[in-house]
Structures are given as structure tokens and as C-alpha cells.
Structure 1
């Protein structure tokens, strides 16, 4: 089954340019979604056309469906978001460990929920919580401290960029949330 996700920031007349997301590429889809929001790169979004053969926890499929519904402005957004929230809990984890689900996977989902409600205070509280949990997860032991994935909170950064680009004030500062990416400081400097 192939679903489509329109590119972010593409001109209205270019909305026909969509990215196929293969059913088995959920993990890759999430990674590319986050990367594309952080870089705002059409090239990154176009590179999403890659099939991936792994099996993930059920929340990931609901989360990808949520993001697709969001971008396509489908009426089923609420249904998928509620399902993602309900499934993204440590007790439901089968592939990831519960700590990773609670501290890294769930916070961006909750941020999107607050963003969609237009809840500035709740959004910023959920962003601060996401960054705190990110830090807790990636500094829990010496081995994790050495892993590059912990340097930037990619998922929270993606949702924060989305919110800021759409007028929701982002009032949280952190080393895990690069200001230059959040403020579009590089725009025009990179041919994407």
C-alpha cells in the first residue's frame, strides 16, 4: 500500500509533487519527516521514496498516518492522533524499550497535539518536557552519552519548527534545539 505526503513549503502549483511512503518504511518515514522539517529541504522530502523492511511498534504506524493526515488535511487526523497517543506508551512497546518510547517517541506526538489545539502554553510546556526527557534518555549512562543521536532532539525540533513556521511562539531554549534551525537562520544559504 502506498500513501502520499506532500512536501512542506512547496509552491501551491507544485503541490502535485508528492512522496510515496511504502507501508514498510515507517521508521524511515518518521526520520525523513523530522529531517525535512528541520532542514526544510524539498530534496530531503523527495528522497523519502525508499522501502524499508522492518517491523515497528504499532504506535509508529499510527504516528505516520497522523502526519500524513495532517499534511493532506484529511478529516481522519484526530482519529490517527488519538490512536498514536494511546499506543505510544511503554506498556505497548514490543520493539523499542519502554524508556525510549516514553522519553523519545511520545513527546513529539504530545507536542503536535498541543500545536493542533493552538495551545501556546501547553505547547511550550510539552516542548520543555520533551527536551528534559531527551536529555534524561541520552545521558542515562556513559554509552548513550557517546551516541550522536542524542546531540539534537530531532523529533521535538521538527514539531517546534512546524509550530514556529505557522505562527505559534516557541518560548523554550535549549542546546538540544539549535536556534539557527528553529529560526530559519540558514535559509537562502543552502541550495536544497
Structure 2
């Protein structure tokens, strides 16, 4: 699924607020998130999306006077079953799973909101995810010992939970230890 994401560049919400555009059947879907939570969505015809894109280009040209080189905003390769991924955004009830790594068990191309079912190395369910990113190492095959320990996942999860709050490295470690004790 090709999608384009525009992240907020405000100092207050840098990288936390975003708008994503992607194909939704015969429409172009726009999904907005505020502080990483779903805010709204809109679905328009391809013609309306083109008109909107031209308007955005005109605004940008008005601000800086002309064309600049386009940034690469598409995901490099499609996510497929078996890919080792890190959860970027999970469903609302599983938002605490952001940062966890796992393997894509299902890709539901008919569901633009939660297309990825992520499982752990045993094949157990972790979460349905809106957005994942590939992890460089290959997915672990069933019955084999995973290459990476869960410690990195737990630290990443602790960082994600503390995001937006003032914290120290010691806070991250304490929270990671707490999370690890509950597993």
C-alpha cells in the first residue's frame, strides 16, 4: 500500500501530528492524527485530490518562490507477510505496543486503517497496526531462536510510553524493568 505522510514541523508537536494520504478503493483517503491519536479522516475522488495537491503546490510556491526538490516520502517497499517490523502506530486499544517488533502475520489490503497483523516469534498476536516499518534483519523462522532479545523491544516500548513527558534515561530503564517484570 503506497502512502504519503506529512509530519508536523512545529517545535511543540514535531513528528507527533501528521496527515497521511493513501488509496482507499477508488478514493484517496486522508487520515489526520493529533498527538499520535486519530483526529479525522476524509475520502475524496482522484480529481478532488489532484486539485487539492495543485493548491498545496501553489501555496508552497507562494511562500518560497518556486520549486524545490521533492523529498522521498513513500515507503521503500511494500510490507508483506513474513517481514520483520517495528510497530509505529497500533490500533487505539493497543497503542502501548508502539515500538514492539514482530513479524507480519497478515496484510489486509482491504483495511486502510489497520492493515497489518503483527505477531511475535512464536506466532502469538501482538497487535493490529496502522503503520509499521521494516527492521533490517530477516524475520525469525518458526521454531528458531530469535536473533534479537526482547530487551530492545521493552526499552523501545518504555521510550514510546514516556514520549511527550519529561524523563531521564534512568526513568526509561526503570519503566523497562517494570514492563519486563510483567511479562
Common fold, TM-score beyond 0.5? no
TM-score, normalised via structure 2 length: 0.27
The answer to which structure, 1 or 2, has the higher relative contact order (CA under 8 A, 6+ apart) is 1
Q: Which structure features the higher share of helix residues?
A: 1
